[in-house]
Amino acid sequence: MLALTVLPAQHGYVGHIANLLADAAACPDAEPMAICRAGQPVGYYRIDPHARSVAGHDLAVPTLGLRGFFVDARWQGQGLGARALSALLADVSARHPTARQLALTVDPGNAVAIGIYLRADFHDGTGLYHDGGSRSQRLLLRKLP
């Protein structure tokens, strides 16, 4: 997993896998997940049990948080992001049957990620999320199957 990386221009959106894993380890309810292809890790994401982890507050319906979703730079451009997103939605629905939706935040300048999420039926949530950093994040929601 520690060999996974993103393109230099994407580091501001995702960060480094070592930091993502350390953060997940510090949060006992977090579910860090590897995206695998033929048994080889090609990406990562994290599921959090509550929307407040990404939205800053809970939502009216039971909502999980999706954080740190990325496909390794060597595997980008092959449709793996869309396929991984579809698989994670099915997996999360099966493992969290009481959850009704998934929430994530994305940098408004990350057009590639926004396109993937919108094609996967995410829609704009309750406005921009301000996490105290220098940029606001776009909150996206998707009903779970």
3-state secondary structure the chain: CCCCCCCHHHHHHHCCHHHHHHHHHHCCCCEEEEEEECCEEEEEEEEECCCHHHHCCCCCCCEEEEEEEEECHHHCCCCHHHHHHHHHHHHHHHHCCCCCEEEEEECCCCHHHHHHHHHCCCEEEEEEECCCCCCCEEEEEEECC
Which token pair is 36? 């695998």
Query: Per-residue pLDDT tens for 43-83?
Result: 999 999 999 888 888 899 999 999 999 999 999 999 999 99
Please answer whether residues 144 and 99 qualify as being in contact, where contact means their C-beta atoms are separated by less than 8 angstroms. yes
User: How high is the pLDDT of residue 128?
Assistant: 53
Distance between CA 145 and CA 143 in Å, rounded? 7
Predicted TM-score (pTM) of this structure: 0.90
Q: Give me the residue spans of the domains in the chain.
A: 8-143
Q: What is the pLDDT along the chain (145 residues), one digit of tens a residue?
A: 999 999 998 888 888 999 999 999 999 899 999 999 999 999 999 999 999 888 888 899 999 999 999 999 999 999 999 999 999 999 999 999 999 999 999 988 889 899 999 999 999 886 555 554 546 888 999 999 8
Q: Are 48 and 29 within 8 A, CB to CB?
A: yes
Q: Which CATH class for the 8-143 domain?
A: alpha beta
